Chain A
Amino acid sequence: MPKITVDGASYEVAEGRTILQALDDQGVLMNGVDIPHYCWHPKLSIDGSCRLCQVEIEGIPKLQIACNTPVRDGMVIHTRNERVEKAREGVMELLLINHPLDCPICDKAGECKLQDYAFEYGVPHARTREPRRAGKKRVDLGPTIVFDQERCILCRRCVRFCREVPGTGELSVFSRGDQSVIETFPGEPLDNDYSMNVADICPVGALTTKDFRFKIRVWFLEDVPGICTGCAKGCNVHLGVANNRVYRYVPRRNDAVNGTWICDEGRLSYARIGADDRIAGHEVRQPDGRALPVSIDVALEEAAERLRGVIDRKGAGAVGILASPHATNEDLFVARRLLEALGSSQAGVAVRTGRSDALLIQPEKAANAEGCRRLGFGPAEALLERARGGAVAALLVLGHDALATQGPELLETLRGLDVVLLADSHRSELERVAQVVFATRVVAEKHGTLTNHAGRVQRVVPAVEPSFDAHAEGEIMWRLGRALGLPGFDGAWDLQAVSKALAETVPAFAGIDLASVPPDGVPRADR
Chain B
Amino acid sequence: MQKAPFITSYLTEHTADDAFATLAGYRAHGGYEAARRALTQMSPEQVVELLKDAGLQGRGGAGFSTGMKWSFMPKDSDKPKYLVCNADESEPGSFKDRLLLERAPHQMLEGILIGAFATGADKTFVYVRGEYAHPANVLQRALDECYAAGIFGANCLGTDLRHDVVVTRGAGAYICGEETGLLESLEGKKGQPRKKPPFPAQFGAFGMPTTVNNVETFSHVPHVVAKGADWFRGFGTEKSPGTTIFGVSGHVKRPGLYELPLGTRLDEIVFEHAGGPPDGRKVKGVIPGGMSMPILPASQLDVPMANEFLRERKTMLGTGGVMVMHDATCMVRVGCIITYFFRDESCGQCTQCREGTGWLHKIMQRIERGAGSPADLDLLLDVASKMEGQTICAFADAAAWPVQGLLRHFREDFEEHVKQGKCPFPESFEL
A-side residues, CB < 8 A to B, are 46-52, 54, 62-63, 65, 68, 70, 87, 90-91, 93-95, 97-98, 127-130, 133, 153-154, 173, 175-180
Of B195, B344, B352, B366, the contact of A177 (CB 8 Å cutoff): B344
Interface 9-mer from B158-166, B213-221, B383-391, B407-415: B383-391
Contact, CB under 8 Å: B348 / A173? yes
Interface 9-mer from B3-11, B44-52, B354-362: B354-362
Find chain B residues with CB under 8 A from A94 CB.
351-352, 355-356, 359, 383, 386
Find chain A residues with CB under 8 A from B345 CB.
176-177
Contact, CB under 8 Å: B357 / A177? yes
Bound CA span A177–B344, Å: 6
Find chain A residues with CB under 8 A from B133 CB.
none
Q: B186-201: contact bitstring with A at CB < 8 Å (1 yes, 0 no)?
A: 0000100001010000
Of A52, A90, A178, the contact of B354 (CB 8 Å cutoff): A178
Find chain B residues with CB under 8 A from A54 CB.
390
Closest 3 CB pairs of A and B: A90-B386, A180-B348, A48-B195
Contact, CB under 8 Å: B346 / A177? yes
B225 within 8 A of A: no
Contact, CB under 8 Å: B348 / A130? no
B396 to chain A, nearest CB (A): 9
B137 within 8 A of A: no
Find chain A residues with CB under 8 A from B366 CB.
129-130
Contact, CB under 8 Å: A178 / B351? no
Contact, CB under 8 Å: B390 / A90? yes
Q: Which residue of the partner chain A has the closest CB to B385? A: A90
B-side residues, CB < 8 A to A, are 173, 175, 190, 195, 197, 343-352, 354-359, 362-363, 366, 379, 383, 386, 389-392
Contact, CB under 8 Å: B358 / A127? no
Contact, CB under 8 Å: A49 / B392? yes
Instruction: Give 20 A-B contacts (CB < 8 Å), ordered by A residue.
Output: A48-B195, A48-B392, A49-B195, A50-B351, A54-B390, A62-B389, A65-B195, A70-B197, A90-B386, A90-B390, A95-B351, A130-B359, A130-B363, A176-B175, A176-B348, A177-B344, A177-B345, A178-B354, A178-B358, A180-B354
Known: A97-B359, A128-B359, A130-B362. A51 touches B346 (CB 8 A): no
Find chain A residues with CB under 8 A from B351 CB.
49-52, 91, 94-95, 153
Bound CA span A172–B107, Å: 42
Contact, CB under 8 Å: B195 / A176? no
Contact, CB under 8 Å: B392 / A93? no
Q: Which residue of the partner chain B has the closest CB to A133? A: B358
Interface of B is mostly: helix
Q: A90-B352, A179-B348 given. 5 additional CB < 8 A pairs? A: A48-B195, A51-B352, A65-B195, A127-B379, A178-B358
Of A48, A176, A178, the contact of B190 (CB 8 Å cutoff): A176
Of A48, A52, A87, A175, the contact of B348 (CB 8 Å cutoff): A175
Bound CA span A179–B173, Å: 14
Bound CA span A93–B383, Å: 9
Contact, CB under 8 Å: A177 / B348? yes
A85 to chain B, nearest CB (A): 13
Find chain B residues with CB under 8 A from A180 CB.
348, 354
Bound CA span A151–B346, Å: 20
Bound CA span A154–B355, Å: 11
Q: Which of A49, A128, A175 has the most CB of B within 10 A?
A: A49
Contact, CB under 8 Å: B358 / A177? yes
Bound CA span A68–B386, Å: 20
Bound CA span A142–B22, Å: 57
Find chain A residues with CB under 8 A from B344 CB.
177
Bound CA span A130–B367, Å: 12
Bound CA span A175–B344, Å: 10
Bound CA span A98–B343, Å: 14
Contact, CB under 8 Å: A95 / B355? yes
Bound CA span A177–B354, Å: 5
Bound CA span A95–B359, Å: 11
Contact, CB under 8 Å: B350 / A49? yes
B209 to chain A, nearest CB (A): 19
Q: Which residue of the partner chain B has the closest CB to A87? A: B390
Find chain A residues with CB under 8 A from B197 CB.
68, 70
Contact, CB under 8 Å: A51 / B389? no
Q: Which residue of the partner chain A has the closest CB to B173? A: A176
Find chain A residues with CB under 8 A from B392 CB.
48-49
Known: A49-B350, A70-B197. A98 touches B390 (CB 8 A): no
A105 to chain B, nearest CB (A): 23
B359 to chain A, nearest CB (A): 6
